[in-house]
Amino acid sequence: MASGLMASGLGAALGGGLGSAAEAAANSAESAENLIGIDEVQRSLNRSRASVYRYTNTDPRNLNPAFNPRKLNPEYRSDQKEPLMFHPNEVARFARDVLRIKEVTVEVLNSPSTATQQLLGSILEELRTIRGLLSSSGSGTSDLDARREQHDQARPAA
């Protein structure tokens, strides 16, 4: 029996190293968008909604119970009214280890680019261009330092 688990969101690389702390922070932000809801879990496990809720590690007295390897563990919630969200890797682990589904595939698809992502991309490109111009003009930083010194000398100390 094979089960394909799919989630929409920004493409998160499954496996592979991160080059910097900035990339790690970006990937953690992306992973928050890659969470899947009860409906997607139900479809991917081919189980009823009631059975998915039975599998889920929840407790009415404890909003975020400790990890239980025999249950499907949802992501952290700050309010009881928030919907249950699951990381695709957790759903795959549960399907493989608890339900004994032999072949489990986690597939994270790229979401369409939003206006915000496009704007951030253009800002990043412009910053890279500015940085390139500043580094290629080498003397630009010394000119800037000289101007700062002149400005500081022209102002009387308070």
The yes-or-no verdict on residue 157 having pLDDT over 70 is: no
> Mean per-residue pLDDT for 21-50?
70
As a three-state string, the secondary structure of the chain is CEEEEEEEECCCCCCCCCCCHHHHHHHHHHHHHCCEEHHHHHHHHCCCHHHHHHHECCECCECCCCCCCCCECCCCCCCCCCCCEECHHHHHHHHHHCCCCCEEEEEEEECCCCHHHHHHHHHHHHHHHHHHHHHHCCHHHHHHHHHHHHHHHHCCCC
**pLDDT tens by residue, 86-145:** 999 999 899 989 988 877 766 666 667 788 888 999 999 999 999 999 888 765 556 677
**pLDDT tens by residue, 45-71:** 888 999 999 999 998 889 999 999 999
